[in-house]
Structure 1
Amino acid sequence: MNSRQATMAVHATAVLFGLTGIFGELIQGGAALITAGRAAFAAAALLLIIARAGHRPARPGRRALSVLLAAGVLLAIHWATFFVAVKVGGIAIATLGFASFPAFITLLEGFLFHERTRAAEWAVVALVTAGLALVAPSFDFRDQATIGLGWAVASGLSFALFTLANRKAVGLVPARELACWENGIVALLILPWCLGEFAELRALDWAWLFMLGVFCTALPHALLVASLARLKARTAGLVIALEPVYAILFAALLFAQYPSARALAGGALVIGAIVWSGLRRTAAD
């Protein structure tokens, strides 16, 4: 894969991630069912990808297993809360609320790893907070959209914690196997709670679940890993930051879910802060 192909791959990754909320809206099932089905299909697809590359997942050691278990729990919480946000508040609210995760990473890295948080990073946190205040249609917790935003921010927080857990895991498990193990753990954790619901799924819902697990989870992960062989992680991160833009566009085209001007302004502030942070770090490199 050359640099041009790597750039195209990471843009495709952002588009596929942006479709996640669309499938969450389409599937007639609860958040636990969607999370378990997504993880199961993704783990199976990633196993096939690894096998085709001529590899076989190694059994993780005791220390790696404990980190993988923690990461799997956090990933399960992240997905479940995100799909609740989609069902309650709509795709745009869910995606923009989730986009707050870089601000949580900034705060948590300083707290958990005792790393100094610079003034510019505090500025990003402030901008993201202001953006979320604009995205919130009201501060009345009887409002469905406000409740949805709360779930979305919880999804962003759990994803930030998951990202930091992965920071520990990458040194213990090969990158090509990491997502496979984590998706498998999510499936094992969540399936017992919703196994009976699968019998009530329509054939079309099975198709949506398959596409969510394979095309919006396993495939973009494989593309992202491949693109990072040519691109810097921060360059890829700048492109992935466009995920909410794609999600809002798809929601408008497919479901006529149009965010308000205030929500768009808040979303622009959140995404702008993330992109600015990425550009500033890239320039520092």
Structure 2
Amino acid sequence: MTPRQKGLTSAHIAAVFFGLTGVLGHVIHASPMTITFGRALFAVAALLVVAFCLKAAIVRGLDRRSSIALLCSGLALAIHWVTFFMAVKTGGIAIATLGFACFPAFITLLERLVLKDAVSLLDWILVVLVISGLVLVTPAIDLNNTGTIGLFWGVISAITFAALALINRTLGRLDAIQVAFWQNLVVLVLCLPLGMSGMVLLSGASLFWLIVLGVMCTALSHFLFVHSLRSIPARSAGLIIALEPVYAIAFAMILFNEQPTLRMTLGAILIIVAAVWPRRQTGHTA
């Protein structure tokens, strides 16, 4: 297998693991806060092992500015995970994933509103696509509808992920494993008061799947994504990761028989196109 093939394989495996996040959130019988705490706990342990094996820096290079950014990004990550799992528990895997998949549109809006970056006409068209997709995906304009509530939490998770992405732009000089470790540690500490108590109530099966979520779908998937960047362009890796909603919806259909309606399918297509298209436009894929 050539280095390029290895990189593509690593990126696709990472996307599959990312896509499994919603599935595992569905099968783990615990509150969103407990799931987030456990995910961060096992991810921190696994990332320590990865950092040791790769001789990656954990403390080196940290200063006051980067430490504040890591704290803020950890807070954003905690809110993102909790709201995403709330979306899964309330509206189902497909609804939660499609809500989260809107994050590129919110990145565009935050770049314009907060960073005052120039936004192209194409970017605004993609925002309109996402909004149109959300309208189609929304089961009903009714706050008593669980699907609508789930989509609401999914969109909140997308907004906080967009904020996380913008904060991460300021951490570019730090090692990716280092950033992931500290962000997960912040999540662990923030969720400790409410998340720890739920851990002792977990069944053996839920604990097993929580370990899989923290180790495979967080630490390993992050490592595979970073590893893929050594042999394929970031644009190519980003395009593959943008297919995460496709994997997630496929898992939901196969494992839980979550059959999307025609309206939801059309909305999903609009949202996924809006997520994938910017990455195709920024350069050739591998």
| TM-score, reference length from structure 2 | 0.96
2:17 maps to what in 1? 16
CA distance in 2 between counterparts of 1:217 and 1:283 reads 28
Match of 2:69 among 61, 67, 70: 67
- Secondary structure at the counterpart of residue 200 of structure 1: coil
1:236 aligns with 2:249: no
1:39 aligns with 2:45: no
2:256 maps to what in 1? 255
- Secondary structure at the counterpart of residue 118 of structure 2: coil
CA distance in 2 between counterparts of 1:224 and 1:46 reads 14
1:272 maps to what in 2? 273
RMSD: 1.4
1:142 aligns with 2:138: no
1:217 maps to what in 2? 218
1:167 maps to what in 2? 169
Structure 1 residue 24: deviation in Å? 0.2
Closer/same/farther in 2, CA of residues 139 and 206 from structure 1, 3 Å limit: same
Within a 5 Å distance, the mapping from 1:67-86 to structure 2 comes to 67-86=69-88
Is contact 2:36–2:195 with CA below 8 Å preserved after alignment?
no
1:152 maps to what in 2? 154
Is contact 2:87–2:150 with CA below 8 Å preserved after alignment?
yes
Letter paired with 2:9: M
Structure 1 residue 174: deviation in Å? 2.1
Is contact 2:35–2:195 with CA below 8 Å preserved after alignment?
no
CA distance in 2 between counterparts of 1:275 and 1:199 reads 41
Structure 1 residue 54: deviation in Å? 2.6
| TM-score, reference length from structure 1 | 0.96
Runs of 5+ unmatched residues, structure 2: none
- The total of aligned residue pairs comes to 283
1:205 maps to what in 2? 206
CA distance in 1 between counterparts of 2:14 and 2:270 reads 23
CA distance in 1 between counterparts of 2:39 and 2:194 reads 15
1:205-238 per-position Cα deviation (integer Å, ceiling 9, x unaligned): 1101000001100011001111112222221111
Is contact 1:170–1:178 with CA below 8 Å preserved after alignment?
no
1:52 maps to what in 2? 53
CA distance in 2 between counterparts of 1:10 and 1:266 reads 26
CA distance in 2 between counterparts of 1:260 and 1:191 reads 39
Deviates further, 88-97 or 59-68: 59-68
Structure 1 residue 146: deviation in Å? 0.3
Structure 1 residue 283: deviation in Å? 5.3
1:160-201 per-position Cα deviation (integer Å, ceiling 9, x unaligned): 000111111223x32221101111110111011122111111
1:110 maps to what in 2? 112
Runs of 5+ unmatched residues, structure 1: none
Letter paired with 1:40: L
Structure 1 residue 56: deviation in Å? 4.6
CA distance in 2 between counterparts of 1:22 and 1:216 reads 11
Is contact 2:23–2:93 with CA below 8 Å preserved after alignment?
yes
- Secondary structure at the counterpart of residue 200 of structure 2: helix
